[in-house]
Amino acid sequence: MTRVPSRLILILLTAAALAGGAASSQDPPSRRVILISFDGVADWIADKLIEEGKAPALGTVGRDGARADAMVSVIPTLTAVAHASMWTGAYPRDHGAVSNSMPRTPASAHTLLELQSGFLSGVLEAEPIWVTAARHGKRVLVAQATGGYPFTGPYPDRLTQFDAYGERLLADELIEVRLGAEPHTFRIGDTDAEVRRSGEASVLLRVGETEVTLGMRGLRHSPPLGVQARGRRGHVRVLLLDLEPAGGRVLLSRGQARVITSTHPELIDDLIAEAGVPIGEIHIGLYRRGRLGPTLAEGGTGEAERRFADVVLANHEYFAGMARFASSRPWDLLVLYVSSMDTAGHALIGMLDPDTPGHDPALAARVWPVYERLFRITVDDYIADLRRRFPDAALVIGADHGMEGTRRVWYPNALLREAGLLVEERGRPDLSRTKALFLYSDGGGIHLNSDRYREGIVADAGRNAVKQAVARALLSARDPLDGMPLVRSVVDPEVDGEALGIGGDAAPDLFFDPTPGYETHARFGAPEIVADGPPTGTGTHGQFPTRRRLHAIFYAAGPGIAPGTRPGLVRAVDVAPTAARLLGIPPPPQSVGHPVLD
């Protein structure tokens, strides 16, 4: 595919944001449309796998319909932010989801340290495509989408939404025991559970009144198991990751306890029966820390990667089940979200990205088959299944961002501390003396501790001076190991926000773009500004979207999409207007994107 220079991408982004165009007034025929986002699927990886014949279904979509050079995300390239732009056709400045985790508003009622999730519908200030479609009389099924929960409840006769992420009762847990004659008892929230030997290669798991046999050569993933926690009923799944017949060592992964919610609660049991429940994506940290066994980067045999892949694939069963569930429901617009490759990317791209400092080709050659298997099952097979199930539907495929590798971690709050802009007491900011903070890892920027916030100290008259001090600190920061600058650029939303689509009441006061190879972490109390990352490296996103590794995918095929369509470089804000055009309706009202398949 064509490699587009970063400067040209920035020009295109700026011109497009200023243009703020609306869709054509033509009235195309309406069609059924599937809009799907594969979280974290990078265009550079999709290109590689298609060229090597390892993504045949995705390659066929590109030949049968449209294949963009790439899709450019937004600033910052974070999941909640970029998806909000995909769903609404608006930039973060206008849709309000400015980070995965963002300060609460109104500022006068909260301190800068009181955060809210950018994934929730309450932060959205622009209308998503599913509401627009329902408002225009379309039947809409949202199987999963960021920014959908809590449900706002419009058009209940036409809009059906589900969510499995908004209400988590318990974090996941790794259970490692040696079983003898007696069972190992434990609790999942308020529910009693136990595991006992049930043969040479299997165990009997009991959760509440439900029993299931898990074996290394049979069923390894439990069905959804009902549990009580925090006064509520939810579901978990348990995975058997390993069992040593001789020593009795058992390694279980107990997923997150979740509550599935819906605008139509009477359908929840049907969805769970078809799809189960997701496990969660928190095993990334367990993998990096060696809790699943020594990684390949540490000389492991590949067992850690096998176990990690088992968890990702078990979690993906929920997304695969959503497609089956949709087969039994009426809809004109089906919205799907699949997180599997974002999880895989965070764990593995640090070893796969050839641009990562210290890249080891021999290690990458051993890791690529793991990533390729996950891509084949969770992306390529999924696309093939959708096209088989719904041959009459136009399929619009996107991703919120790409992924790049890093090896070093740096802590902006330690830099602000050394610059005298942040004061800590016992590892926490003292807001009475702190002028600036970095609040969310992996992307975004620096917030001033404005006196618009409760306990804030930076008055409006002093904002520019503090911003100048922050920018100087960021741009002068160097890695003590080799003198490498830690930041490539700093952008002020008050100067460039309208052109770049950034800003808003809860947005950072300065955005910065880290140097490739460095992961930013929002830890307070870090003893040093820069440190080594894990042996596996990390896959990251959140940086500016002009970086080639952070370009996302855009493909489309089906009725209304001419074979061989090449829309060039598209933007995240173009996704909703494109889906709307295929549906035969106007784009969401705050949209500034354009249909790209005309």
d(C-alpha 476, C-alpha 498), whole Å: 27
d(C-alpha 68, C-alpha 243), whole Å: 46
DSSP structural state of residue 4:
P
d(C-alpha 142, C-alpha 163), whole Å: 9
Strand order from edge to edge, sheet including 249-254 = 173-178, 249-254, 238-243
Instruction: Choose among 259, 248, 195, 179: nearest CA to 226.
Output: 259
The reported pLDDT for the residue numbered 389 is 97
Classify 408-532 by CATH class: alpha beta
Type and span of the H or E element at 56: helix 56-64
- Whether 29 and 560 have beta carbons less than 8 Å apart is answered as yes
pLDDT < 70 stretches in the chain? 1-29, 281-282
Neighbours of 90 (CB within 10 A): 30
HSE value, Cβ hemisphere, 13 Å, CA-based, for 364: 14
- Whether 335 and 369 have beta carbons less than 8 Å apart is answered as no
- Whether 82 and 572 have beta carbons less than 8 Å apart is answered as yes
* Strand ranges for 59-208 from DSSP E: 66-67, 70-72, 101-103, 115-117, 140-142, 159-163, 168-170, 173-178, 184-188, 191-197, 202-207
The reported pLDDT for the residue numbered 444 is 79
Residues in the chain: 598
pLDDT digits (tens, 9 = 90+) for 537-546: 999 999 999 9
pLDDT digits (tens, 9 = 90+) for 121-132: 999 999 999 999
CATH code for the part of the protein at 1-79+127-167+259-403+544-588: 3.40.720.10
Instruction: Choose among 548, 184, 127: nearest CA to 354.
Output: 548
3-state DSSP percent of the chain in helix, strand and coil, to 5 = 30, 25, 45
Same fold, 1-79+127-167+259-403+544-588 and 408-532: no
pLDDT digits (tens, 9 = 90+) for 109-159: 999 999 999 999 999 999 999 999 999 999 999 999 999 999 997 899 999
Strands 408-410 and 518-520: parallel
Instruction: Choose among 435, 406, 369, 430: nearest CA to 542.
Output: 406
The reported pLDDT for the residue numbered 153 is 78
Instruction: Choose among 68, 72, 99, 105: nearest CA to 86.
Output: 72
The reported pLDDT for the residue numbered 223 is 93
d(C-alpha 416, C-alpha 594), whole Å: 40
The reported pLDDT for the residue numbered 212 is 95
pTM listed for this prediction = 0.94
CB within 8 Å of 337: residues ≥ 6 apart: 36, 37, 39, 83, 143, 144, 145, 146, 319
Neighbours of 483 (CB within 10 A): 7
The reported pLDDT for the residue numbered 282 is 63
CB within 8 Å of 43: residues ≥ 6 apart: 1, 69, 70, 71, 402, 551, 552, 553
Tokens matching residue 304: 């850690």
The reported pLDDT for the residue numbered 26 is 53
Arithmetic mean of pLDDT over the chain: 93
Instruction: Choose among 133, 148, 165, 156: nearest CA to 396.
Output: 133
- Whether 70 and 569 have beta carbons less than 8 Å apart is answered as yes
CB within 8 Å of 365: residues ≥ 6 apart: none
d(C-alpha 112, C-alpha 460), whole Å: 16
Instruction: Choose among 354, 352, 373, 349: nearest CA to 364.
Output: 352
Is residue 480 packed enough to be buried (19+ CB in 10 Å), middle (13-18) or exposed (0-12)?
exposed
CB within 8 Å of 48: residues ≥ 6 apart: none
d(C-alpha 532, C-alpha 518), whole Å: 10
The residue extents of the domains of the chain are 1-79+127-167+259-403+544-588, 169-258, 408-532
SS3 of 396-416: EEECCCCCEEECEEECHHHHH
DSSP structural state of residue 105:
S
pLDDT digits (tens, 9 = 90+) for 183-233: 999 999 999 999 999 878 899 999 999 999 999 887 888 999 999 999 999
